Structure 1
Amino acid sequence: MSHSSTLAYVVDEAASKQQVLLSEPGRYLLSAAMAGALIAVVLAVSLKLGQVFFASGAPGYYIATSGFFGVALVSIIVCKVELFTSNVMYFTVGRLSGRCRTCNMLRSWTMVYLGNLLGVLLFVAVLAGAGGMGVLPADHLLFNVVEHKVHASSMEIFWKGVLCNWVICLAVWVPMRLSNEAARLLIIMLLVFVFFFSGFEHSIANMAFFALAKLQGMAGLEWADIAHNLVPATLGNIVGGAFGVGLVVYLLERHTLKAV
């Protein structure tokens, strides 16, 4: 893909997503559910990996967790399934270009968000049937992370949500500028590491954190705690993806649309 056509490609993808949304909503929902399940399964493995180091008292335990989690976004991009956070960026660009309607943009965000949640819950239900993650100690890494997520202030969660989706959408945008497959994989893994290791708030990954914590019977985790995190994290993700990347790349590269 040539550099000049990157924005045109994203606009075409957004228009294509809009077409599927309107003509085959069931397929669109299934695509979103697949993405949610991918997030949840990779997160579960990331936590098991991190726990190996966490339990031994190794200070770099979160490096392992963060380093592996990029597998989720790589899988989602390769499979071309719908993840809420990147969908925000695609439809923002589609709307700014005039190829997508505002009502369809909002419909897509809603359907993909709910589809991602459905996928997370389906995976966790199957995992429950397989015995979950086993019997976890009270100081397990999963509970440690969730504890931090529910006790941060709403504004802190919001801004971490903004930063998260700014980085995640860059992890979708930047590889489009590269032609080498190995380089693409590497930059996705590294940018996902940036968001995860920094402790930024990804609404869909957080759904998986909370679903796993509920499955494992985390003491004191209330539905109000989950809402306290997910509402500002989701709003932050929308701002980070729509303005931080969608609007910015459109303003920087809209001149290429005329050229193409």
Structure 2
Amino acid sequence: MVMQNHKTVEDTYASRETMNSVVSSSQMKSVMLSKTPVRYFLKAMMSGFLLSIVAVFMLAIKTQHNGINEGTINLLGAIAFSLALVLIVLTHSELLTSNFMYMTAGAYYKSVPIGKIVWLFTVCFIGNIVGGFVLFGLLKFTSVMTPEMVTALTKIVDKKTTLGTWDGILVKAIFANFFINIGIYVSIQFKEGLSKAFFIACGVVVFVFMGYEHVVYNANLFSGMMFYNLDALSWIDVLKNIVWAFVGNYIGGGIFVGLLYAFFNGKRNHYIDEQK
């Protein structure tokens, strides 16, 4: 005799509470952009600023530990850079690549119109880049960026632009934002700060250590080059990197995480039906 199965389809929605939080956040972001656009833009700038200042911190670690095992240096840099996303998420700043997950889930559940999502992506990306410009502009008044750090920055940018192929950038960008948003999605399930920080950091450590492509991080590295080594930039290759990293990041975070986990946790009209 087999035990009767009284489970329903709704019981298979294993992370429904997490998805409720994601959809709620997508609506809050939409309201903030509509009602307080200056505040939204400043929060996007803060993400770019935090990302850039921690990128400089990572460069300092790598150059000051030059001479030890390369894998160890890369791991130290990856762990250091994970601090950026932890600070961004826990301060509720606005980062384009995490919004790919939030807003795509919102689109699936029809909580935010497509036109508003495209506008939010545009404003957020511009704000992220401006935040990086502000950081590197301020650094020019200091001696923080040593010649060794500028050399390291140039090598990283050269690898991402002139040495990078469009398909390689695309695939590595998919991997980067998949890991980032999986980490964020898991972290939403925890209330305690250290648990959230741990899972957020895990995805970042993987993407940085493996050398994957993150469009905001890359754009802010290009901002740094504009202040410290402008002549070494190939603008066609910069555009190639930004375009394909943007597309890949959207696929990795928006489709592989946002859309898939929205599909895993209910029908498209779920929230609309609840309001009736």
TM range, normalised to the smaller chain?
A: over 0.9
Please, which of 19, 27, 42 is the counterpart of residue 15 of structure 1?
A: 27
Q: What's the counterpart of residue 223 of structure 2?
A: 211
Structure 1 residue matching 2:140: 3-state secondary structure:
helix
Q: State the identity as a percent.
A: 26
- CA distance in structure 2 between the partners assigned to 1:137 and 1:186 by the alignment: 28
CA positional deviation for 1:208 = 1.9
- CA distance in structure 2 between the partners assigned to 1:137 and 1:23 by the alignment: 41
- CA distance in structure 2 between the partners assigned to 1:229 and 1:48 by the alignment: 24
Show structure 2 runs of 5+ residues with no match: 1-13
Q: What's the counterpart of residue 155 of structure 1?
A: 167
Which moved further from structure 2: 225-234 or 112-121?
A: 225-234
| Partner AA of 1:105 in structure 2 | I
Answer yes or no: is the 8 Å Cα contact 1:42–1:69 preserved in 2.
Answer: yes
Which moved further from structure 2: 174-183 or 239-248?
A: 174-183
The normalised TM-score by structure 1 is 0.92
- CA distance in structure 1 between the partners assigned to 2:96 and 2:130 by the alignment: 12
Show structure 1 runs of 5+ residues with no match: none
Structure with higher Rg: it is: 2
- CA distance in structure 1 between the partners assigned to 2:180 and 2:27 by the alignment: 21
Q: What's the counterpart of residue 10 of structure 2?
A: none
CA positional deviation for 1:136 = 3.0
Q: Deviations over 1:48-103 (max 9, x none)?
A: 101122x3253221111111001100001111010000011111111111110000
Q: What's the counterpart of residue 104 of structure 2?
A: 92
Q: What is the count of residue pairs matched by the alignment?
A: 257
- CA distance in structure 1 between the partners assigned to 2:187 and 2:33 by the alignment: 25
- CA distance in structure 2 between the partners assigned to 1:217 and 1:234 by the alignment: 24
Structure 2 residue matching 1:136: 3-state secondary structure:
helix
| Partner AA of 1:145 in structure 2 | I
Q: What's the counterpart of residue 69 of structure 2?
A: 58
The normalised TM-score by structure 2 is 0.87
Please, which of 66, 77, 81 is the counterpart of residue 93 of structure 2?
A: 81
CA positional deviation for 1:255 = 6.0
Answer yes or no: is the 8 Å Cα contact 1:33–1:118 preserved in 2.
Answer: yes
CA positional deviation for 1:191 = 1.4
CA positional deviation for 1:3 = 4.7
CA positional deviation for 1:132 = 5.0
- CA distance in structure 1 between the partners assigned to 2:63 and 2:149 by the alignment: 10
Q: What's the counterpart of residue 39 of structure 1?
A: 51
Q: What's the counterpart of residue 186 of structure 1?
A: 198
- CA distance in structure 2 between the partners assigned to 1:209 and 1:135 by the alignment: 16
- CA distance in structure 2 between the partners assigned to 1:165 and 1:242 by the alignment: 9
Answer yes or no: is the 8 Å Cα contact 1:89–1:246 preserved in 2.
Answer: yes
Where in structure 1 do 4 or more consecutive aligned residues deviate above 3 Å?
A: 255-260
Answer yes or no: is the 8 Å Cα contact 2:15–2:265 preserved in 1.
Answer: no
Counterparts of 1:1-260 in structure 2, within 5 Å, are 3-53=15-65, 55-59=66-70, 60-131=72-143, 133-136=145-148, 140-150=151-161, 151-217=163-229, 220-254=232-266
